[in-house]
Copies of this chain bind each other. A is one copy, B any other.
């Protein structure tokens, strides 16, 4: 069973859940109120998010509050890091500029 953050955030419902509980911890029922599916479906998403540690539980009586595990979100940021260097270089557009000059001189 594949279970990593990238697969977890692939589902739009799960991204919405993440955005929801990022602001405040919420119970499954409260979360499910925001969607057109059953509580059980949301429960399944919460399980997946919990398994890859993107969110964490906090039991309070019979209620369970889910909240965002911010540190895990940083891992996505860490993956992007390697490309950030590229798009910052391209922003200078030095290589593209040189390429264009080369191409145009041939015409």
Contact = CB atoms under 8 A, between A and B. Distances in A.
A22 B73 contact: no
Interface of A: 4, 6-7, 9-10, 12, 15, 18-19, 22, 68, 70-71, 73-74, 76-77, 79-80, 82-84, 86-87, 90
B82 A76 contact: no
Interface of A is mostly: helix
A19 B82 contact: yes
A72 to B, nearest CB: 10
Contacts of A73: 80, 83, 87
A10 B71 CA distance: 19
Given A7-B10, A19-B82, A71-B87, 8 more contacts: A6-B10, A10-B10, A18-B83, A22-B82, A22-B83, A68-B83, A68-B86, A70-B90
